[in-house]
Structure 1
Amino acid sequence: MAIDFKQDILAPVATDFAAMDQLINEGISSKVALVMSVSKHVVEAGGKRMRPIMCLLAARACGETNLEHAQKLAAIIEMLHTATLVHDDVVDESGLRRGRPTANATWNNQTAVLVGDFLISRAFDLLVDLNNMVLLKDFSTGTCEIAEGEVLQLQSQHQPETTEATYLDIIHGKTSRLFELATEGAAILANQPQYREALRKYAGHFGNAFQIIDDILDYTSDAETLGKNIGDDLMEGKPTLPLIAALQKTFGAEHDIIRRSITTGGTEHLDQVIQIVQNSGALDYCRERAVEETTAAREALLQLPESIYRQALDNLAQLALDRIQ
């Protein structure tokens, strides 16, 4: 039976989600008109809002019944996520995100960078209102690690020597860490520290699986589905897991083509690279890794009491995997 996002994941927290949406809109209000219009543009271009949904589900799964604070936290999470996307698009010189023009393409890099700064600052402004020192510390450390993950990725660009361990460090920072803040933060706020570790493990493994799946889709999907161009990562010389695995599974000329593609970037040999990655068994290896990470995520949830909310978190992990089945 296929898992339905609305029914099996969003429905249990639908009312909280609506309230959180309202809080985001209030949060991005600013005296400066341009800040408002750019913030609105990027927030509306948001996707499924998986991170705030995960935050709300985690709060409920911890037994929290008054979700006023958790709704605020979920809004903060989404604002932080949006800020990192705005900055990523500038760094990657992206023109499109999810099929819509990026902030840097619509306005310019300067505006995008500064509005990204505003969103991060505003998120912390709202975080202080929650008046929880443990939470504040978790988020301050976490956002540092997110930035470090992005820099680590930059450092690994054009480096065919990049190992799977380094790749995992990169994706933990740039993807998994914010998922962890969303779930662990919910446990801190709900005053249920005993669930922190289980929720952090769930989110960390989920984030890893999610990013590996994303990297697989770069070789098997089309621009329509992906919302960005196939080969974008390749063009930037990013050594993602499919390429790292392909390097280990190929020899001679094929190995050299992959190596050269990472070193030089560009999409000159794109079709060839896609072919080699698909034929080498690299994607099968990546799928196995995605399944392992998903299994670890789902197992971590078993530390939480059984509830429809825990089930929804489990459904979310399964749904992510459906994208490559």
Structure 2
Amino acid sequence: MTCTSLSSTAAPLSTAPSVNLSSTPSYADIQSIVADDFEIMDKQVFGSLNSKVQLVMSVSQHVINAGGKRMRPLITLLCARMLNDEPSKQAMHLAAITEMLHTATLVHDDVIDESGQRRGKPTANATWDNATAVLVGDYLIARAFNLLVGFQSLPLLQVFSDGTCDIAEGEVLQLQHQHNPQATEEDYLNIIDGKTSRLFMMATQGAAILQNQTQHLQALADFGQHFGNAFQIVDDVLDYSGDSELMGKNLGDDLAEGKPTLPTIKALELLKDSNQKDYEQLRIAVQTGKTPNAEQLIALVRNSGSLDYCKQRALEETKLAQQALSNLPDNRYRQGLYQLTELASARLL
């Protein structure tokens, strides 16, 4: 993969990572910082679809209408304003393209995972079929690059083309390690660097390129990667400890699908040294995907101490993301990005 691990050397911010929900602004509060830009961007996500094929339009609108918080385009808008506090049509357009790419990856994920629902709504593959969903996902990626050409910026195209390759490689790497009880934490980090963190990096670096402030590319890459890592680790922890209704999927789904997530990888590592019987039970479940005793397996992962380790790793990645921000212009938009890291970590409570 072309995406390499980035280490942050920034000085710590004055505030340590917080997971105090009572003092953390809501997502709507953070979004309100760029409310006008966000509203225009959101309309552009739909307005950029112009296929002459009605089925393409119907499926694309279906998956985009499924909602989501539009976190990646929000980050693009916050970064653009942080670097130059002026309305930027280009930044809004790029944010919409970023969301289009994200939507495409979700469509493909649902096909791979054979998911029937996402965020409580039927997926494209369940509403139509796998072939239709895959091809419309391909269209969304192609359309995104068609729109990127309009910026006439080779550096921007380079970041997005390299990044899209890394996203695809991350997904394939996850498939390569599916049902592999020998997957390591390093394997996991390589997977999420590609499939999750890379798009956050593209969202941040694209804003800097458009604002002609490429001196901030490294700090923004560090922020995007570490924020993405923290975000994915929290998501994976919630697969064992979250609210299934809020998540829109059943607890333990990742285990049943044989996904190499950090909670399972660490639980196997801890159990191998402490409880051979439980280790074998979990190893077989990972290897076969057979989880008739899902509640017992979830309890086994919880009791292993794995989730405590994962929560600490998520907080470490959050701190690195916050440190990266200290190298960027200090204004309310940077504060919004900082608050976004707090909000992501607060999901652990």
Please indicate the TM-score interval, normalised by the length of the shorter structure: over 0.9
- 1:3 has 2:25 as partner: yes
Shift of 1:29: 2.6
- What do residues 216-261 of structure 1 show as CA deviations (whole Å, max 9, x unaligned)? 0000123201111221111111121001110111121011111111
Match of 1:212, as an amino acid?
I
Partner of 1:270: 294
What CA distance in whole angstroms lies between the structure 2 residues aligned with 1:46 and 1:54? Answer: 17
Partner of 1:287: 311
Residue number among 146, 152, 157 corresponding to 2:167 in the alignment: 146
What CA distance in whole angstroms lies between the structure 2 residues aligned with 1:43 and 1:130? Answer: 23
What CA distance in whole angstroms lies between the structure 1 residues aligned with 2:108 and 2:259? Answer: 17
Contact 1:158/1:265, CA 8 A, preserved across alignment:
yes
Partner of 1:125: 146
Partner of 1:239: 260
Shift of 1:26: 1.2
Partner of 2:338: 314
Q: TM-score w.r.t. structure 1 length?
A: 0.98
Match of 1:258, as an amino acid?
L
- 1:89 has 2:113 as partner: no
Contact 1:64/1:190, CA 8 A, preserved across alignment:
no
Number of aligned positions between the proteins: 324
What CA distance in whole angstroms lies between the structure 2 residues aligned with 1:165 and 1:322? Answer: 25
Q: Which has the higher contact order (CA 8 A, sep 6+)?
A: 2
Match of 1:3, as an amino acid?
P
Match of 2:24, as an amino acid?
A
Shift of 1:95: 0.4
Contact 1:160/1:263, CA 8 A, preserved across alignment:
yes
Contact 2:24/2:342, CA 8 A, preserved across alignment:
no
Partner of 1:40: 61
Shift of 1:32: 1.0
Matches within 5 A, 1:140-289: 140-250=161-271, 251-289=275-313
Contact 1:235/1:265, CA 8 A, preserved across alignment:
yes
Partner of 2:47: 26
Partner of 1:303: 327
What CA distance in whole angstroms lies between the structure 1 residues aligned with 2:230 and 2:66? Answer: 23
Match of 1:4, as an amino acid?
S
Deviates more, 1:156-165 or 1:61-70: 61-70
What CA distance in whole angstroms lies between the structure 2 residues aligned with 1:147 and 1:160? Answer: 23
What CA distance in whole angstroms lies between the structure 1 residues aligned with 2:106 and 2:196? Answer: 11
Runs of 4+ in structure 1 off by over 6 angstroms are none
Structure 2: state its 5+ residue gaps: 1-22
- What do residues 24-63 of structure 1 show as CA deviations (whole Å, max 9, x unaligned)? 1111132111111100010111310000000100111112
Other structure's SS at 1:177 match: helix
Structure with bigger helix share is: 1
Match of 2:311, as an amino acid?
R
- What do residues 80-128 of structure 1 show as CA deviations (whole Å, max 9, x unaligned)? 0000100110111100101110000001111101100110010001100
Match of 1:256, as an amino acid?
E
Shift of 1:269: 2.7
Other structure's SS at 2:50 match: coil
Shift of 1:2: 3.0
Match of 2:284, as an amino acid?
R
Structure 1: state its 5+ residue gaps: none
Aligned CA-pair RMSD: 0.9
What CA distance in whole angstroms lies between the structure 1 residues aligned with 2:137 and 2:24? Answer: 37
Shift of 1:202: 0.6
- 1:107 has 2:128 as partner: yes
Partner of 1:78: 99
What CA distance in whole angstroms lies between the structure 2 residues aligned with 1:229 and 1:276? Answer: 17
- What do residues 153-211 of structure 1 show as CA deviations (whole Å, max 9, x unaligned)? 00000111100001000011110000000001111111001111111111100000000
What CA distance in whole angstroms lies between the structure 1 residues aligned with 2:260 and 2:330? Answer: 40
Q: TM-score w.r.t. structure 2 length?
A: 0.91
| Sequence identity percentage | 58
Other structure's SS at 1:260 match: helix
What CA distance in whole angstroms lies between the structure 1 residues aligned with 2:194 and 2:290? Answer: 25
